Amino acid sequence: MNLKQILRSLVIEDKFIPEFVPLMDVVQPFTNKSVAACYEYTNTSDDCSKTSLDTCQRCQISISKWSLPNKEICATCPRDPANSNSVVRESLFDLNNRTSLIDRAKIKCQLPGCNSIHNGNEVYRASNISFNFGEFFKKSSNNIL
């Protein structure tokens, strides 16, 4: 029953396919020259690995919104066993406190400069994840997870 209520309350909208297809291009081999073309920036206290010219397979950026207007950004080319390019938008909600805990956009890509802050912000612009707490708790006021 809780799963049905969660699915009714969750709104996910995206326009990823037409806008982000070029970011999914695979570069083989991904060389030190390619790695050097990755954007590198951090303003986070979380673990944001430095660029690794020897082991990196793709550039990446993660932009996390914990509370507006604050954004934590990690753009690098770290050691990463992941073997595919991707565009991801994810959110975490606390049902007990009825709050959004985190809203994150991630890109893993191989084209020069593809992990830019602009591209990360485009993921936010092209997608939305929201949770209607009122809808979730409408059926039963005793729902505690």
Number of domains in the chain: 1
Residue 129's domain comprises 2-13+22-133
- Domain assignment present for residue 145? The answer is no
- Domain assignment present for residue 45? The answer is yes
Q: What is the pTM of this model?
A: 0.85
Which two three-digit tokens encode residue 101?
């805990």
Model confidence pLDDT, tens digit, residues 93-145: 998 889 888 899 999 999 999 999 999 999 999 999 999 999 888 865 555 55
